[in-house]
Structure 1
Amino acid sequence: MSGDREGLAALLMRVRSEDFVAGRLMEAVEAIPRRLFVPDGVADPYGEHTFPLPCGQTMPSARTAVRIAAALRVQPEHRVLEIGTGSGYVTALLARLGVHVVTLERYRTLSSAANERLRACSLSNVTFLQEDGRAGYAEAAPYDRIVVHGSFDELPKAFVEQMASGAMLVAAIGAGDGVQQIVRHHRQGSRFELTPLFPIRLQPLEIGKASLL
């Protein structure tokens, strides 16, 4: 659709000039058709707004999704853990960038739909699991990159223990009832370098796996 091409071009221009995104991530954004991931009837899938998803969830704007992916600095050899699959759009970007992605979602409905979308994009290097993700996923650890689509008052120890040496983790840190900061945690041996990136509003991760949806 011509409108989608214009929206994509505007997004690429903005993230390149304002967020300094370049290289392989820009190629991934161009390669992944965002319309496949947004609800039917959306006029501009690349617009500056969130979109509703089934199960009472939402997906971030295209720019926010790209900024989160950019913060991770994923390289081709990296193994990635994602908490909160949602529509699968960020999952698809990460799968284009890294060697393998393990993505956790508490709603089977969302996980199954995202799996189908990634298959339509010819992406097969992703493991989809129905889990709440509040303690990460130790079974496949350690990870080179971790992203959490939810907020914490402070980073749980379980995630720290699942990070490889040199790993990065991106999550929203702050009270769940207000504005948080997206923070990049960079593990360097026994030390952590914390870099606040941009404000965001995300809900704390919900407890348990959804039994009905």
Structure 2
Amino acid sequence: MTGPAGEDHGRDDDLPATLAERKMRFLFALRSRGVTDARVLTAMEKVDRGRFVRGIFAARAYEDMPLPIACGQTISQPSVVGLMTQALNIGPRDTVLEIGTGSGYQAAILAQLARRVYTVDRWKRLVREAQETFSALGLVNVTAMTTDGSFGLPDQAPFDRILVTAAAEDPPGPLLQQLKPGGIMVLPVGQSDAVQHLIKVTRTERGFDYDELRPVRFVPLVEGLGNE
């Protein structure tokens, strides 16, 4: 989507209409890139991405592009967020684990669709800032915590859905084991930041089924905690 950010040259009373136009273009971009699930689109319409983008990049919040956030991380491209969420096929009674809180944007969308969302990140600063945003938005069904996401969250397992927003060489074993039978996990896999694919893992009675969805590019899944 070509971004309208930075094109506000009208009077102050023109700003609300400009913001509405940005959001309309935002939703159009999602649909044009394959986000067609009505529940996912409604959730993404409700969650204002502008609340999760800070500093000099705030004006670009409604463009379909990844943006830098603190701790050397990124807020994902909205269409990729939508496609990952759509692939999870979340039900209203589901409990979801997200690995990689980041800005909190993805977790806020999951919270519109699921009964309960647990989101973890290795960076204390990101978790703290996301918690503040969740509180400001009144999202009471999201629990964020600082921990090594590569080991999942065994105390709360098993999960109906698991979403990983960082790339591993292979789906981590602990996460596979924390997925309920019939559950779905969506994550990027790849041996480098240049060659990654988004895959959907479904746990069956006999094991795991794998479906490749599309090429992507995410930051790597790193073990241990960050120092911020």
Change (3 A) 1:62 1:4: farther
Moved more, 38-47 or 108-117: 38-47
Shift of 1:17: 4.2
Give the TM-score, by structure 2 length: 0.87
Find the partner of 1:145 among 140, 143, 161. 161
Write out aligned runs for 1:59-138 (5 A): 59-138=75-154
Find the partner of 2:188 among 172, 179, 182. 172
One-letter amino acid of the counterpart of residue 63, structure 1: S
Alignment partner of 1:25 is 2:40 = yes
- Higher helix proportion, which one? 2
Moved more, 15-24 or 112-121: 15-24
Moved more, 103-112 or 61-70: 61-70
Q: Rg bigger for which structure?
A: 2
Give the TM-score, by structure 1 length: 0.93
2:24 aligned partner: 9
Listed one character per residue, the Cα deviations across residues 125-156 of structure 1 (whole Å, up to 9, x for unaligned) are 11111012112111110000001111121112
One-letter amino acid of the counterpart of residue 21, structure 1: T
Matched residues in 1 for 2:85 and 2:93: separation?
16
Change (3 A) 1:3 1:180: farther
Moved more, 67-76 or 189-198: 189-198
Change (3 A) 1:195 1:8: farther
* SS class of match (1:197): strand
Q: CA RMSD in A?
A: 1.5
Listed one character per residue, the Cα deviations across residues 172-205 of structure 1 (whole Å, up to 9, x for unaligned) are 1111342201101011212322121111112321
Matched residues in 2 for 1:47 and 1:154: separation?
31
Contact 2:33 2:79 in 1 (8 A): no
Listed one character per residue, the Cα deviations across residues 52-72 of structure 1 (whole Å, up to 9, x for unaligned) are 111111111222212221121
* SS class of match (1:154): coil
* SS class of match (1:152): coil
Number of aligned pairs? 212
* SS class of match (1:29): helix
2:170 aligned partner: 154
Shift of 1:20: 4.2
Change (3 A) 1:20 1:63: closer
Matched residues in 2 for 1:129 and 1:63: separation?
26
* SS class of match (2:61): coil
Structure 2 residues without counterparts, runs of 5 or longer = 1-15
Change (3 A) 1:165 1:126: same
* SS class of match (1:85): coil
